[in-house]
């Protein structure tokens, strides 16, 4: 499923009681209103992300494997 806000591929977030499709690039969650996010820089968007969102965002942006990005982020937060 494509994100209605940014057009990237959405992933199924199944750790919730009700699984929802989420976009880790822009933060859109299925069922929420689509708002205009123009004007936000990538840095401003990253500051509001949790570790899983940031991993997916960086991996898709640089074309890396999510596992390697997650390991790198774990090493830098210790």
Q: Rounded to an integer, what distance in angstroms lies between the CA atom of residue 40 and that of residue 63?
A: 22
pTM: 0.44
Q: What is the mean pLDDT of residues 7-21?
A: 81
Q: pLDDT of 15-56, one tens digit each?
A: 777 788 888 888 788 876 656 556 677 777 778 888 888 888
pLDDT of 63 over the 60 cut: yes
pLDDT of 57 over the 80 cut: yes
Phi and psi, residue 18, nearest 5° = -115, 115
Q: Rounded to an integer, what distance in angstroms lies between the CA atom of residue 37 and that of residue 58?
A: 19
């Amino acid at each position: 499923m494509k994100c209605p806000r940014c057009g990237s591929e959405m992933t199924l977030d199944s750790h919730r009681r009700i699984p929802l499709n989420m976009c880790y690039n822009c933060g859109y969650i299925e069922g929420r209103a689509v708002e205009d996010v123009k004007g936000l820089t990538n840095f401003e968007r990253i500051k509001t992300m949790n570790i899983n969102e940031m991993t997916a965002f960086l991996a898709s942006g640089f074309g890396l494997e999510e596992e390697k990005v997650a390991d790198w982020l774990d090493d830098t937060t210790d």
